[in-house]
């Protein structure tokens, strides 16, 4: 199942690993809460990825696939893989326009703007909500399980295939935050650190 390709709503065919790479870092949505802060919205983030500009996504995937090939070459032949420059990734997304809907959910952040907001990639003592990696993982995983149940209840056919693909894509999205959970650079509470260094503003 993990090897199945996924066709997104924008028509792009991607691997589940490519979804894991893109979710959160390249596609994300945030909703302003009563506390005045922007909180990660997994469902809106998934929709943003599903309906992303296909041409832009193809450029992003070009970087993802190039890095993957570099890592594979390094494993096979030795040497080091060269990561894509952050400026190059920002250049692919900087033309986006932020849009805020009636619910206060904003999409259209660029790569570096998403990086500024990404407390949801980090570990926190309080794992409730979606502003930490385990909470974000849990939200996506729950949506994936619900989509899988819906697929199971449908008769064979295009509708069931679409539901299965949605379930797999949601689970692949969840895996971004599970990998963050075990990433050494994400083993601290980013928001707590920012508050401590800005007087809580």
What was the pLDDT predicted at 78? 86
Confidence of residue 2 (pLDDT cuts 50, 70, 90): confident
Of 62, 104, 96, 68, whose CA–CA distance to 83 is shortest? 68
pLDDT top residue among 59 and 193: 59
DSSP code at position 155: P
What was the pLDDT predicted at 130? 94
For residues 184-201, average pLDDT: 75
Give the bridge partners for 169, in sequence order.
none
Residues 109-123 have pLDDT tens digits of 999 999 999 999 998
Residue 23 three-state SS: strand
Name the least confident of 59-63, 139-143, 184-188: 184-188
Residues 172-187 have pLDDT tens digits of 999 999 999 998 778 7
Cβ–Cβ under 8 Å, residues 83 and 3: no
Would the pLDDT of 72 be above 80? yes
Angle at CA 189, nearest 5°, toward 184 and 193? 115
What rounded mean pLDDT belongs to the chain? Answer: 93
Residue 5 three-state SS: coil
Residue 109 three-state SS: coil
Tell me, yes or no, if the pTM score tops 0.85. yes
* Spatial separation of the C-alpha atoms in residues 162 and 139, rounded to whole Å: 20
Task: Tell how strand 13-14 and strand 38-40 pair up.
Answer: unpaired
Q: Where are the alpha helices (DSSP H) in 4-157?
A: 16-22, 42-50, 54-77, 86-93, 111-117, 133-153
Confidence of residue 199 (pLDDT cuts 50, 70, 90): low
Residues 41-53 have pLDDT tens digits of 999 999 999 999 9
Angle at CA 172, nearest 5°, toward 171 and 177? 90
For residues 80-106, average pLDDT: 95
Largest Cα separation within the chain, whole Å, is 57
- Share of residues in the chain with pLDDT > 90 (%): 82
What was the pLDDT predicted at 185? 79
């Amino acid at each position: 199942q993990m090897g199945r390709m996924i066709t997104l709503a924008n028509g792009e065919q991607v691997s589940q690993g490519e979804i894991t790479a893109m979710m959160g870092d390249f596609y994300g949505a945030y909703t302003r809460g009563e506390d005045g802060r922007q909180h990660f919205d997994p469902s809106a983030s998934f929709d943003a990825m599903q309906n992303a500009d296909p041409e832009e996504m193809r450029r992003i995937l070009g970087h993802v696939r190039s890095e993957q090939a570099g890592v594979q070459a390094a494993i096979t032949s030795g040497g080091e893989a060269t990561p894509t420059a952050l400026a190059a990734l920002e250049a692919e997304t900087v033309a986006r326009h932020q849009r805020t809907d009636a619910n206060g959910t904003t999409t259209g952040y660029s790569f570096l703007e998403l990086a500024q907001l990404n407390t949801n990639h980090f570990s926190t003592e309080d794992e409730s909500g979606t502003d930490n990696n385990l909470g974000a993982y849990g939200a996506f995983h729950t949506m994936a399980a619900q989509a899988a149940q819906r697929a199971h209840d449908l008769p064979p056919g295009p509708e069931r295939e679409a539901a299965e693909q949605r379930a797999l894509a949601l689970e692949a999205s969840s895996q971004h935050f599970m990998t963050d959970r075990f990433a050494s650079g994400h083993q601290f509470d980013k928001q707590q650190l920012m508050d401590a260094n800005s007087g809580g503003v």
